[in-house]
Chains A and B, each alone.
Chain A
Amino acid sequence: MTELPWLYAALSAYALATIASLVGVGRLGTPATSPADFAVSEDQRNNERLVLALMTASVILLVVTLTDRWLRIGHGPFVNLFELLISQLFSLGLVYAVAYWRIPVLRPTSVVVLPLMGVLAVWVLVLEPSDSVFPPTYHNPWLWAHVGFGKFFLAFSLIGTGLAGVILLRSRAYFKNLFRHLPDNVILDKLAWRFMLLALVFDSLMLIAGGVWAQDAWGRYWAWDALETSSFLNWLLLGASIHARTTYNVPIRVGALLIIGIFVFAFVTYFGTPFYSEAAHKGVI
Chain B
Amino acid sequence: MRQPAVKSVLRRLASTKLTLLWMVLLGVGATLSYGNPVETSIWVLIVPMLLLAINLVAAIISNPRINRRGGLLVFHIGLLGIVVLAAIGRLTHMEARVEIISGNEFSHDHLIEVRAGPLHNGAINEVRFVQGPYTVEYRARMSRGRTYSQVAIPDGEGGWYESVVGDDRPLVIEGYRFYTTFNKGFAPIMSWIGEEGNVIETGAVHMPSYPLFDFKQSNSWTPKGGDEIKFWLQLETGLNAEEAWVLDGREATGTLVVNVAGKRTELLPGESVKMAGGSLRYEQLTTWMGYKLYYDPTLQWMFLISVITVAGLGGHFWRKLSAEPLGLDDALRGEKKLVKGSVPAPRSASV
Task: Give me the interface of A with B, judged by CB distance under 8 Å.
Answer: 35, 38-40, 102-105, 133-134, 136-137, 139-140, 180-184, 186-187, 190-191, 193-194, 196-198, 200-201, 204-205, 208, 211-212, 215-226, 229-230, 232-233, 236-237, 239-240, 242-247, 249, 277, 279
Among candidates A140, A200, A222, A242, residue contacting B168 with C-beta atoms closer than 8 Å: A140
Among candidates A181, A237, A247, residue contacting B27 with C-beta atoms closer than 8 Å: A237
Chain B residues within 8 Å of chain A by Cβ, number: 66
Task: Give me the interface of B with A, judged by CB distance under 8 Å.
Answer: 16-17, 19-20, 23-24, 26-27, 30-31, 33-36, 65, 86, 95, 137, 139, 143-147, 166-170, 177, 179, 292, 294, 296, 299, 302-303, 306-307, 309-310, 313-314, 317, 320-321, 326-329, 331-336, 338-340, 343-346, 349-351
Q: Given A133-B139, A183-B331, A233-B30, A243–B351 Cβ distance below 8 Å?
A: no
Chain B contacts for A39, CB-based, 8 A: 333-335
Q: How far does the alpha carbon of A200 sit from the alpha carbon of B345 in the complex, in Å? A: 26
Q: From B145, which residue of chain A is reached at the shortest CB distance?
A: A136
Q: Given A197-B320, A216-B168, A243-B16, A236–B26 Cβ distance below 8 Å?
A: yes
A224 & B36 in contact (Cβ 8 Å cutoff): yes
Query: Which secondary structure dominates chain B's binding surface?
Result: mixed
Chain B contacts for A136, CB-based, 8 A: 137, 144-147, 166-168
B340 & A180 in contact (Cβ 8 Å cutoff): yes
Chain B contacts for A277, CB-based, 8 A: 35
B343 & A224 in contact (Cβ 8 Å cutoff): no
Q: How far is the CB of A28 from chain B (nearest CB, A)?
A: 12
Q: How far is the CB of B14 from chain A (nearest CB, A)?
A: 12
Chain A contacts for B139, CB-based, 8 A: 133
18 examples of A-B residue contacts, CB within 8 angstroms? A103-B326, A105-B328, A136-B144, A136-B146, A186-B349, A187-B344, A191-B326, A208-B306, A211-B303, A215-B294, A219-B177, A220-B294, A224-B36, A229-B30, A229-B31, A233-B31, A240-B20, A247-B17
B313 & A190 in contact (Cβ 8 Å cutoff): no
A38 & B334 in contact (Cβ 8 Å cutoff): yes
A104 & B168 in contact (Cβ 8 Å cutoff): no
B299 & A221 in contact (Cβ 8 Å cutoff): yes
Q: How far does the alpha carbon of A133 sit from the alpha carbon of B20 in the complex, in Å? A: 43
A196 & B328 in contact (Cβ 8 Å cutoff): no
Q: How far does the alpha carbon of A244 sit from the alpha carbon of B24 in the complex, in Å? A: 11
Among candidates A104, A181, A211, A233, residue contacting B329 with C-beta atoms closer than 8 Å: A104
Q: From A40, which residue of chain B is reached at the shortest CB distance?
A: B334
A225 & B333 in contact (Cβ 8 Å cutoff): no
> Which 8 interchain pairs have the tightest Cβ spacing?
A39-B334, A193-B351, A184-B343, A247-B16, A240-B23, A219-B179, A224-B33, A229-B34
